[in-house]
Amino acid sequence: MERSRRPRPRPRQPPNLSSSSLSSTHSWSQKFTTNPTKNVKSLDTDLDAPDRFKSGRDAQAEGDVVDSHSLPTLVGTCPFMCPAGERAQRERLRDLAVFERLNGNPGKTSPGLAVKKFCRTISIRDVQLSDVRPLPVLEDTLDYLLSLLDSTEYSFEVVHDFIFDRTRSIRQDLSMQNIINEKAIYMYEKMVQFHVTSCHKLQSCRDPNISSVHYLNMEQLTKALASLFNLYNANRNYDSIYENEAEFRSFYVLLHLGPNSQPMGESLSLWFRHVPVPIINSKEMCFARKILRFFRMGNYVRFLSIAASEASYLQYCIIEPYVSEVRGLALSCINNGGYKLHPYPLSHLSKLLMMKESDLVSFCNACGLETYIDEVGNKFLPTKQTTFCCPKGGFQSYGFTGLEFER
């Protein structure tokens, strides 16, 4: 019997975010690796100890979907985004983020500004119902947080740091109350979406500590994804899948780009055994599998063309760091494989790599290669140069011409 898709509205795009072949083929990607999920620990063994709730039985990890009978029933009664007690304490300690300060005063806030912080350790025996936000309050809090992405007053690093912490607190409250219904799915999809789009936005940040921020963002992305997949499974009817499920499950495959990437502690071959057939056959999953295959094969022509024609915005946000890797591979192959007396026209190379000529010149220079202009103004790349190298600080993100979606 053919499975039907459950009619649900697509999650709202966060404001202003639009815009194996095998062992023999892994060597090239090892040379060009910028794998953001490298060394991320297995979700099954380390779910960030602060997210565990101790109740005299096995601790519950943040976002883990468990049987509803395995934990005491807890329904929060806090009507505000931040409990009154925490709000008063943080006013006394002057522990208020810039978004929480009333008229810029670091020691004064209001119920409409303060948002509950993530708590590193919680004992469920000490939890007061008045400190836990019920589902409707959590939904409003999440919408408020995502609205801050419109902020132009502060850099994205500042905005991301605030939303990053407060969405962890939302997941904590959801987990403490064991909320696993469809509204929880909707919220988790939006939180995963935030972390995915942050992958793209953090690429353009110039903060020297941005690599650690990116690592932490990827870590929380994998945790939120694992919880979302558990929610899909917990709410599944035999004959239905969720409208956005195929795209969100494709993220798991895309996070395996790179030779050492196993972000959730489970191999793809095992993971695919538990994925419903309609999702495996979906266009979103087919795209992810093709991208992974061509990346591992080193087929830069197919990788770039398919990325441009088939990627959704969220999928592109995940694969963006690898686009520069693949371009570096292509440049290396053309430089090493070209005939010395026949320099390569940049006009053709820019079409092949799907980037502007001006960006291509900068990209070549960053890789240690020189270009020149002939007497009629055409630009060329002399081949057989021995100075090719990967940029020490990693590849810069350049524009991608030919993308089908609105960036």
Name residue, tokens 């670091």: 106
Name residue, tokens 């810069």: 396
CA distance 230 to 171: 14
CA angle 155, 159, 162 (to 5 degrees): 145
CA distance 78 to 73: 16
Q: Does 161 or 32 have the greater pLDDT score?
A: 161
Please list, in sequence order, all residues whose beta carbon lies within 8 angstroms of the beta carbon of residue 47, skipping any fewer than 6 positions away.
Answer: 61, 62, 63, 64, 223
Q: Are 117 and 169 in contact (CB under 8 A)?
A: yes
**pLDDT for res 7:** 46
| Residue 22: burial class (beta carbons within 10 Å; 0-12, 13-18, 19+) | exposed
CA distance 346 to 331: 11
Lowest mean pLDDT among 250-259, 263-272, 345-354, 387-396: 263-272
Residue type, 169: S
Q: Would you say residue 52 has pLDDT above 60?
A: no
Residue type, 324: S
Q: Closest Cα to residue 236, out of 194, 192, 278?
A: 278
Q: Would you say residue 231 has pLDDT above 60?
A: yes
Residue type, 135: L
Distances (CA, A) of 396 to 317, 327, 334, 368, 401: 15, 11, 20, 14, 16
Average pLDDT taken over every residue of the chain: 82
pLDDT band for position 23 (cuts 50, 70, 90): very low
Sign, Cα dihedral of 116, 118, 121, 124: positive
CA distance 226 to 264: 8
Q: Does 55 or 117 have the greater pLDDT score?
A: 117
Q: Would you say residue 288 has pLDDT above 50?
A: yes
Overall average pLDDT of the 260-278 stretch: 80
Overall average pLDDT of the 385-393 stretch: 86
Overall average pLDDT of the 346-367 stretch: 93
**pLDDT for res 207:** 76
pLDDT band for position 368 (cuts 50, 70, 90): very high
Overall average pLDDT of the 394-403 stretch: 80
CA distance 173 to 78: 11
- SS3 track for the chain: CCCEECCCCCCCCCCCCCCCCCHHHCHHHHHCCCCCCCCCCCCCCCCCHHHCEECCCCCECCCCCCCCCCCCCCCCCCCCCCCHHHHHHHHHCCCCCHHHCECCECCCCCCCCCCCCCCCCEEHHHCCHHHCCCHHHHHHHHHHHHHHHHCCCCCHHHHHHHHHHHHHHHHHHHHHCCCCCHHHHHHHHHHHHHHHHHHHHHHCCCCCCHHHHHHHHHHHHHHHHHHHHHHHHHCCCCCEECCCHHHHHHHHHHCCCCCCCCCCCCCHHHHHCCCCHHHHCCHHHHHHHHHHHHHHHCCHHHHHHHHHHHCCHHHHHHHHHHHHHHHHHHHHHHHHHCCCCCCEEHHHHHHHHCCCHHHHHHHHHHCCCCCEECCCCCEEECCCCCCCCCCCCCCCCCCCCCCCCCC
CA distance 293 to 25: 10
Q: Closest Cα to residue 261, out of 19, 46, 35, 21?
A: 35
Lowest mean pLDDT among 60-69, 115-124, 146-155, 292-301: 60-69
Overall average pLDDT of the 1-5 stretch: 46
